[in-house]
Amino acid sequence: MLSRTPEPPYYAVIFSSIRTEGDHGYAAMAEAMNRLAAEQPGYLGMESAREAIGITVSYWADLESIRRWKAAAEHMVAQRLGQERWYAAYHVRVAKVERDYRGGMAGDRCGGSVIDANWKPG
């Protein structure tokens, strides 16, 4: 599902990564992290895909929401194995979405099966 975000401006956190071999508790952490994100104030949605690299983009109302989410996420990671075990490399970018447009056969429908504002991965 694609995230149904509001009109810009809002913020995107682009998390690009290359995984290490093996799980090391990764799957459980990822699911917990997605749940944690969705509970945060200012959370607008999340989109995720992985092939050779993984890309997860989460959308947020403002920078303050991202700061709170980052603190909560770091606390959760600190209680577990630590991201150095899960990622050979990662890159986080915080970006302000200034404009957007959408399309496709189902792109202009509100509701419907393709678009889901409340989608949670996993």
| Bond before 9 cis per omega within 30 degrees | yes
Torsion of CA 55, 6, 111, 56, to 10 degrees: 10
> What are the CA-CA distances from residue 19 to residues 66, 88, 101, 121 (Å)?
23, 5, 31, 18
Contact pick of 24, 36, 47, 77 for a copy of itself (by CB under 8 A): 47
CB of 25 to a copy of itself, least distance (A): 16
Contact pick of 27, 71, 78, 88 for a copy of itself (by CB under 8 A): 88
Contact pick of 28, 49, 78, 81 for a copy of itself (by CB under 8 A): 49
- Report if residue 67 touches a copy of itself, rule: CB under 8 A: no
- Report if residue 111 touches a copy of itself, rule: CB under 8 A: no
Residues at the site binding a copy of itself, with contacts judged by CB under 8 A: 1-3, 5, 8, 11-12, 14, 16-18, 20, 47-55, 57, 83-84, 87-107, 114-115
